[in-house]
Structure 1
Amino acid sequence: MARTKSFEPAYALRKALFEFWRNGYERTSTDVLMAAMGIGKRSLYDTFGSKHDLYLRTLTTYIEHAEESHAQAVEAAPGKGLVGVRALLRSHVALPGCPAGCFAVNAATERPDDPDVHAAVCGYFTRSAERIAWLLRQEERWATVRPQQLDRAAQAVHNGWLGLRVQARLGASEPELDAAADDLLSSVR
């Protein structure tokens, strides 16, 4: 007879996500994960697979939450175009208790040679740049430019957004991040 799980997998996954986000893949041991998740080794492996499998699952979970948070921020903005881009730049991942910065940026810089991490992060970054391009296209200045020019501008804004996430991880204040977002937007006005 199969035993039932004595823990909530979604809760355990969130705890693992925060450990990987705070400490990275290499500095997060299986023992640390088990303690944070409140589970034993057998439950860890039976439910989530290897440490690498768990890491990928936390990364894709993060990306799903991030994209949802970004969409909500843009939808709540009092307009599209640059107003929407600013809302996107200042959006936060809607997970209570999450660390500052961006788990996807951390993953990209810590594990660039991992093909699974590379694919997940590149897909997320591509979709984010496409969202920025769509928002820019709402502005009169960008409505009729060549697609290549729009894509370059969107990619430049996206790259600046990644820099904002690094600054957040390093402890930049909200006013500092607001000012940096405004400076970034001034380049595409």
Structure 2
Amino acid sequence: MARTKSFEPAYALRKALFEFWQNGYERTSTDALAAAMGIGKRSLYDTFGSKHDLYLRSLTTYIEHAEESHTQAVESAPGKGLAGARALLRSRVSLPGCPAGCFAVNAATERPDDPAVHSAVCGYFARSTERIAWLLGQEERWAAARPQQLDRAAQAVHNGWLGLRVQARLGSTDPELDAAADDLLSSLR
């Protein structure tokens, strides 16, 4: 007879996500994962598969939460256009207790040769860049821009946003990050 799980898989997954986010793939052992998740290694493997499988599931879970947080930030901004873009740049993943920075940026820099990581992160970054382009297109200055111009501007903003995420990971304060976001968008007015 199959045993029932004595843990909540969603809670354990969140703990694994935070462990990978904080320490990276290589510096996170399966022992550390099991301890952080509050489960035995056998339960970890039976429920989540290999360490790599768990890492990918953690990354896709992070991306889902990130995109939800970005949507909420843009929808609650005091307008679209650059106001929405600023809200997007300053949005955070809304998971209690999560580390600073961006797990997707960490994954991209730590595991760029992992095809599954590459695909997940590139897809997320492409969707984010498309959202920025849409927000810029809401501005009168950019409404008549050629698609190529709009795409290049959106890519530049996205690249700056990645820099803000690295600064957050390094401990920059909210006022510093707010000022950097404002500086980034000032040339697009």
**What's the TM-score once normalised by structure 1's chain length?**
0.99
Question: Partners in 2 of 1:152 and 1:46 — Cα distance?
Answer: 45
Question: Partners in 2 of 1:53 and 1:62 — Cα distance?
Answer: 14
Q: How does 1:1-189 map to 2 (within 5 A)?
A: 1-189=1-189
Q: Report the 3-state secondary structure (helix = DSSP H, G, I; strand = E; otherwise coil) of the residue aligned with 1:6.
A: coil
Question: Partners in 2 of 1:139 and 1:66 — Cα distance?
Answer: 24
TM-fit CA distance, 1:86: 0.3
Q: Deviations over 1:160-186 (max 9, x none)?
A: 000000000000000000000000001
User: Which runs of structure 1 show a deviation greater than 3 angstroms over 4 or more consecutive aligned residues?
Assistant: none
Identity of aligned residues (%): 89
Question: Partners in 2 of 1:149 and 1:35 — Cα distance?
Answer: 49
Question: Partners in 2 of 1:187 and 1:29 — Cα distance?
Answer: 45
User: Which amino acid in the other structure matches residue 34 of structure 1?
Assistant: A
Q: Deviations over 1:123-145 (max 9, x none)?
A: 00000000000000000000011
Q: Deviations over 1:44-90 (max 9, x none)?
A: 00100000000000000000000000000000001000000000000
The count of corresponding residues between Structure 1 and Structure 2 is: 189
User: Which amino acid in the other structure matches residue 67 of structure 2?
Assistant: E
TM-fit CA distance, 1:41: 1.2
TM-fit CA distance, 1:187: 2.0
Q: Report the 3-state secondary structure (helix = DSSP H, G, I; strand = E; otherwise coil) of the residue aligned with 1:14.
A: helix
Question: Partners in 2 of 1:7 and 1:184 — Cα distance?
Answer: 45
User: Which amino acid in the other structure matches residue 26 of structure 1?
Assistant: E
Q: What is the aligned-residue RMSD (CA, Å)? A: 0.4
Q: Report the 3-state secondary structure (helix = DSSP H, G, I; strand = E; otherwise coil) of the residue aligned with 1:92.
A: coil
Question: Partners in 2 of 1:182 and 1:140 — Cα distance?
Answer: 18
- Any gaps of 5 or more consecutive residues in structure 2? none
